[in-house]
Amino acid sequence: MKRTYIKNLVEGECCIKGYVETIRDKKIMFIVIRDVTGAVQVTIVKDECPEVYEQAKKLTPHSFVSIEGKCVFSEYVRNGGKEIYPDKIDIMSIADVLPIAPDSGPDLRMDYRWIDLRDEKKVFMFKIQSAFEKYAIEFFDKEGFIEIHTPKITTISSEGGSEVFEMKYFDRKAYLTQSPQLYKQMSMMAGFDKTYEIGELFRSNPSFTNRHATEFTCIDVEISFIESHHEVMDVEEAMFKYIMKGMKEEYGEEYKRLFGKEMIEMNYDIPRIPLYDAYKILKEEMNYEVPRALKGDLDPDGEKLICEWVKKKYGSDFVFITDFPAKARAFYSMHKEDNPELSKTYDLLFKGLEITSGAQREHRYEQLKQNIIDNGINPDDMQVYLDFFRYGAPTHGGFGLGIARTLAKLFDLPNVRDVIFIFRGPNRLTP
């Protein structure tokens, strides 16, 4: 018999496949079976189906089964008012006693991540991740972007050798890519005009915060023929509006059922605040001053507080912080014409957390080379990258968006690891 997903059950004969969520065996045995679409109660009356009952007695929680029988509707039954009276139970595998419980600590749950993910809310998070990427791709397609796949093994790094995993590549040294930045820019020199990539990146930053991972997924975007970083922000804002609209239409009701609140909407323009204006707001209206050592950026507390202020004043969960000091940004960032001490750069904050860095890039060969020198990097080490610019380069800019950070804030979760399928951090290399 052909399989029916639980959410699609109708009255009549059916075959479902999934795992055992709960078992209750008294005079009548009740088994809740869950698949990726939902859960349904299976009811077994011992005297009416002794063979099926004996087979069911072998089951343990989280055993995987295939069940054939008759689906009936009843207003007294949970899980959508449906229940199944089985004629046949095929056991795919019997589960041992689980090594984790709902109240287990995060490290233990990460040790058994595949079991930890057998949870309706957690499965839904990855449905949202899939939808997020789907609507992003739809947006890029409608806007005429070309998808590219940049190499993940390279001889150059976007920051001149910092925070990269070194590896042996046959008879020479190579690195795992920390960003597709340099190759995104190369696509502009190739005349692609607008490109995007959704891919894995690697950062050898020994950070143990709730915001960092050593392997993560980003959406990276690059566009040509711009005059300002504000044009890059325009693209990202339009992308977010498209994604959020699509996700709410498709999953808004399920999100509300599972999390008890409405999924956010973006029926507003994202405020744009220069960094030094943000400092002023924090000091004068939030009674907070960013530590001197971190001037040139926002610290985590500053990010949270400025987002609180923006939410109260503009009703926005997002805010662009713009015009960072040139010395605090990467060498490929363009300096502002009217104030070379500042750069044409921005960060996008979402509910108190930076999820994006973006900029207009420096496209002039000699100026770019000087920026590299000014950042203390030997230009000889970056010659492969510099060569991209020797044969003509358009004005261009782009951004990189961390998907895990975005989803963590969408679900108001404290740690990015909760929305990453298999988390990698300084102390986490398994499973």
Q: Are residues 279 and 344 in the same domain?
A: yes
| 101 in a structural domain | no
Distance CA 16, CA 33 (A): 9
Q: How many other C-beta atoms are found inside a 10 Å radius of the C-beta of residue 245?
A: 14
pLDDT in tens, the chain (431 residues): 999 999 999 999 999 999 999 999 988 999 999 999 999 999 999 999 999 999 999 999 999 999 999 999 988 887 778 999 999 999 999 999 999 998 999 999 999 999 999 999 999 999 999 999 999 999 999 999 999 999 999 987 666 556 899 999 999 999 999 999 999 999 999 999 999 999 999 999 888 899 999 999 999 999 999 999 999 999 999 999 999 999 999 999 999 999 999 999 899 999 999 999 999 999 999 999 999 877 899 999 999 999 999 999 999 999 999 999 999 999 999 999 999 999 999 999 999 999 999 999 999 999 999 999 999 999 998 999 999 999 999 999 999 999 999 999 999 999 999 999 999 999 999 99
Q: Are 310 and 347 in contact (CB under 8 A)?
A: no
| 280 in a structural domain | yes
Q: Are 63 and 33 in contact (CB under 8 A)?
A: no
| 198 in a structural domain | yes
Please provide the DSSP assignment of 277-314 as one string: HHHHHHHHHS-----GGGTTS--HHHHHHHHHHHHHHH
| 109 in a structural domain | no
Task: State the pLDDT at residue 157.
Answer: 66
- DSSP element (H, E) containing 332: none
Q: Are residues 160 and 242 in the same domain?
A: yes
Q: Are residues 63 and 143 in the same domain?
A: no
Q: Are residues 273 and 185 in the same domain?
A: yes
Number of structural domains in the chain: 2
CATH number at residue 152: 3.30.930.10
Task: State the pLDDT at residue 225.
Answer: 98
Distance CA 133, CA 219 (A): 8
| 113 in a structural domain | no
Distance CA 268, CA 387 (A): 42
| 104 in a structural domain | no
Residue-range definition of the domain harbouring residue 38:
6-93
Task: State the pLDDT at residue 200.
Answer: 96
Q: Are residues 145 and 54 in the same domain?
A: no
Q: Are residues 81 and 133 in the same domain?
A: no
Task: State the pLDDT at residue 360.
Answer: 98
Task: State the pLDDT at residue 78.
Answer: 77
pTM score, two decimals? 0.94
Q: Are residues 143 and 72 in the same domain?
A: no
Rounded to 10°, the helix 300-314/275-285 angle is 80
Q: Are residues 212 and 348 in the same domain?
A: yes
Q: Are residues 84 and 128 in the same domain?
A: no
| 329 in a structural domain | yes
Q: Are residues 28 and 164 in the same domain?
A: no
- The side-by-side arrangement of strands in the sheet containing 165-169 is 153-154, 172-176, 165-169
Name, in order, each residue with C-beta under 8 angstroms of 361's C-beta and a sequence gap of 6 or more: 185, 332, 333, 334, 396, 397, 398
First CA to last CA across the chain, in angstroms?
Answer: 35
Q: Helix or strand or coil: residue 254?
A: helix
By the 10 Å C-beta count (0-12 exposed, 13-18 middle, 19+ buried), 236 is classed as buried
Q: Are 281 and 311 in contact (CB under 8 A)?
A: no
Q: Are residues 124 and 88 in the same domain?
A: no
| 114 in a structural domain | no
Radius of gyration of the chain (CA): 26
Q: Are 65 and 91 in contact (CB under 8 A)?
A: yes
Q: Are residues 47 and 132 in the same domain?
A: no
